[in-house]
A = this chain, B = another copy of it.
Amino acid sequence: MTYQAAVRDILFTLEHIADVYDLQGTGAFPDLSADLVQAIIEEAGKFTTKELASLNRAGDQHGSTLLDGVVTTAPGFKAAYSKFVEGGWQGLSFPQDDGGMGLPGVLGVAFMEMLQAANMAFGLGPMLTMGAIEVLIQAGTEEQKQTWLPKLITGEWSASMNLTEPAAGSDVGALSTSAKPLSDGSFLLAGQKIFITWGEHDCVENIIHLVLARTEDAPAGTKGLSLFLVPKFLEDNDGNFTIRNDVFAIGLEHKMGIHGSPTCVMEYGANTGAKGWLIGKEMAGMAMMFIMMNSARLNVGAQGVGIAERAWQQAYNYAIDRKQGRAIGLEQYPAAIIHHPDVRRMLLIGKAKIAAARAITYACGFAADQAAHHPDATVLEQAKRREDLLTPLAKSYGSDIGCEVSSSALQVHGGMGYIEETGAAQHFRDARITPIYEGTNAIQAIDLVGRKLSMAGGLLFVEMFVDIKACVDDCASAADKRLQTIAEQLSLAADSLQFAVNYLSDPKCSQADRLSGATAFQTMSAQTIGGFYLAKGALAAVKLLDEQGQDEKYLTGRIDLALVFAKSVLGTVPAGISEVTITADTIFALDIEGLAP
């Protein structure tokens, strides 16, 4: 059995954890129905597994090549991209007025997960394009929208996101790419950008680069940054895009993984100057960047879930087929290794972590949809707060478990996992970039502790604790003993998280102490909230089991999955306190020289 989209898990999470149908109340999605959701997810599952999954290994083996500024993608990628465009997948969650399918963003997140699971290197292209579309929709002028949006939404054109420079990674304030105004209102850009995902390739006719740069006399730091749209091809007098702009790929990175994704060094304006247009206001670059980044952060979370699912399925299939040793209470010798407790443990806990991370990303996508569309301002604002809370958690936890699960999946294979031909190693290598890009997970933790914790007077966590408390009460009063255990574990985890929130929110807690415990706090938060969503799913499963015609086995499994997460992952949450409260004094006790080997 090869990889297949996790349609059943995706639908369950959309329907019973992310409450996708509640979006009918926004009025923004008149066609939204159970039939439609099911049809879209099944169709997306078919497309991604059929057209993209089989190219994953070829992408890894061949990568992309650069010759005279032309990037040729791996064999099969260009044809697959055409089919991606044909299916209209790029426009899935964008307004019908702009040429999209007009479906909720949370379905876009589910699609993104399947896309990344099928082929992470390929999926990065559409993911970056999505962020650019968001920016244009939210901040582009009418003319800009008319010029650029249609072909981006069909997928005929792609986009790239140009932030990083050699001396400016996490610190975007240090960017030095310059933009000079021209009399026609456009700008000439000059500078070098690195780590530009799908910055140049052969799958589309035009590439729209969104570039952070500094206008003349702009102040230093982030305040002086503006965002520019720089197309690969400019419009000629006939309205065709034939004039080659002065932006070229001058290098491709040799990476540990995602070989199929061309990671470019982009040179802007080395010759005549790269022509571009301001998006949004001058000096509003950071706000623009955050539109792209928020889209990318959530999608990287989905990507982590996707690569984990793919790696997990491979391990599951191997564990069923591979026979080795004697298993307790089993006649057959040799036994399939899935019968050995430690293999089963790795698979089960991996599945539970994937389910939790998936729930967080979809819940975040749902909150974003409500925050964008809900007619009731109170609901809308609350949804915005939920989105703000969940975005760093979706990114960090999705990417963290992407690495963890692809590692345990490799381990399930034993020595075979280390052999490249097996395929497990590719997932492990591919996954490792996700905690780094689109803001390292430490940057997410700084966002969580530095901004989100105190935002709206601390309401983000207060509201989450209210929801968790209600869920604990529901679980505790359920007849099923498993739910009672879940209630106990979730309650203990939430108490620990509350303790950590209080510690970090205390004005006596210094900024340095806060940052020293930030990553551990982020992990505690994601684990607790992930456990809460799985408990919510378990409660839904209990209710569904009372109905006729349900998949009894699957629903019981959802309860077991929540239970195993509660016992294993939620059980470790209280231990996070000692890491959250470690203090800067401890972290900095050894000075630089004292640390030296």
A contacts, CB < 8 Å to B: 4, 6, 8-9, 164, 167-171, 173-174, 194-195, 253-257, 309, 312-313, 316, 320, 323-326, 328-329, 334, 338, 340-345, 347-348, 351, 403, 407, 410-411, 414-415, 417-421, 425, 428-429, 432-433, 435-437, 440-442, 445-446, 489, 511-512, 515-516, 518-519, 553-554, 556-557, 560-561, 563-564, 567-568, 571-579, 582, 584, 586-590, 592-597
Contacts of A320 on B, CB cut-off 8 Å?
592
CA of A344 to CA of B574, assembled, Å? 23
Known: A171-B324, A414-B440, A567-B578. A421 touches B254 (CB 8 A): yes
A425 near B553: Cβ-Cβ < 8 Å: no
State how many angstroms separate the Cβ of A326 from the closest Cβ of chain B: 8
Contacts of A169 on B, CB cut-off 8 Å?
324, 414-415
A589 near B575: Cβ-Cβ < 8 Å: no
Q: Is the interface of A mostly helix, strand, loop or mixed?
A: helix
Known: A255-B418, A436-B417, A589-B563. A597 touches B170 (CB 8 A): no
B557 near A170: Cβ-Cβ < 8 Å: no
Interface CB pairs A-B, < 8 A, 5: A174-B334, A342-B446, A418-B433, A560-B586, A567-B578
A419 near B557: Cβ-Cβ < 8 Å: no
CA of A312 to CA of B419, assembled, Å? 26
CA of A589 to CA of B329, assembled, Å? 15
Closest residue of chain B to A7 (Cβ to Cβ) is B597
State how many angstroms separate the Cβ of A470 from the closest Cβ of chain B: 24
Contacts of A171 on B, CB cut-off 8 Å?
324-326, 334
Closest residue of chain B to A337 (Cβ to Cβ) is B170
Beyond A348-B590, A411-B441, A560-B590, 13 extra complex contacts between A and B, CB < 8 Å: A6-B597, A170-B414, A171-B324, A256-B419, A257-B418, A338-B592, A340-B515, A414-B436, A415-B437, A564-B587, A567-B578, A571-B578, A573-B575
Contacts of A515 on B, CB cut-off 8 Å?
328, 340-342
Contacts of A256 on B, CB cut-off 8 Å?
418-420, 425, 428-429
State how many angstroms separate the Cβ of A150 from the closest Cβ of chain B: 33
Contacts of A9 on B, CB cut-off 8 Å?
597
For the complex formed by this chain, how many copies does it contain in all? 2
Contacts of A312 on B, CB cut-off 8 Å?
597
B563 near A341: Cβ-Cβ < 8 Å: no
Sorted nearest first, the 4 A-B pairs with minimum C-beta distance are A571-B578, A575-B575, A342-B442, A171-B325
A586 near B572: Cβ-Cβ < 8 Å: no
A432 near B436: Cβ-Cβ < 8 Å: no
Known: A341-B512, A421-B254, A587-B341. A578 touches B582 (CB 8 A): no
State how many angstroms separate the Cβ of A116 from the closest Cβ of chain B: 15
Q: Which of A316, A442, A577 has the most CB of B within 10 A?
A: A442
Contacts of A173 on B, CB cut-off 8 Å?
325
Contacts of A512 on B, CB cut-off 8 Å?
328-329, 341
Q: Which of A194, A323, A342, A568 has the most CB of B within 10 A?
A: A342
Contacts of A553 on B, CB cut-off 8 Å?
593-594
State how many angstroms separate the Cβ of A139 from the closest Cβ of chain B: 26
CA of A326 to CA of B582, assembled, Å? 22
Option from B420, B573, B588 in Cβ contact (under 8 Å) with A255 = B420
Contacts of A325 on B, CB cut-off 8 Å?
170-171, 173-174
State how many angstroms separate the Cβ of A416 from the closest Cβ of chain B: 8
State how many angstroms separate the Cβ of A288 from the closest Cβ of chain B: 21
Known: A6-B597, A324-B170, A511-B328. A589 touches B572 (CB 8 A): no
B595 near A348: Cβ-Cβ < 8 Å: yes
CA of A340 to CA of B515, assembled, Å? 9
Known: A518-B341, A590-B557. A428 touches B432 (CB 8 A): yes
Contacts of A254 on B, CB cut-off 8 Å?
419-421
B519 near A342: Cβ-Cβ < 8 Å: yes
CA of A457 to CA of B130, assembled, Å? 63
Closest residue of chain B to A446 (Cβ to Cβ) is B342
CA of A175 to CA of B560, assembled, Å? 38
State how many angstroms separate the Cβ of A223 from the closest Cβ of chain B: 14
Option from B345, B410, B442 in Cβ contact (under 8 Å) with A587 = B345
A432 near B445: Cβ-Cβ < 8 Å: no
Option from B4, B407, B592 in Cβ contact (under 8 Å) with A403 = B407
Contacts of A8 on B, CB cut-off 8 Å?
597
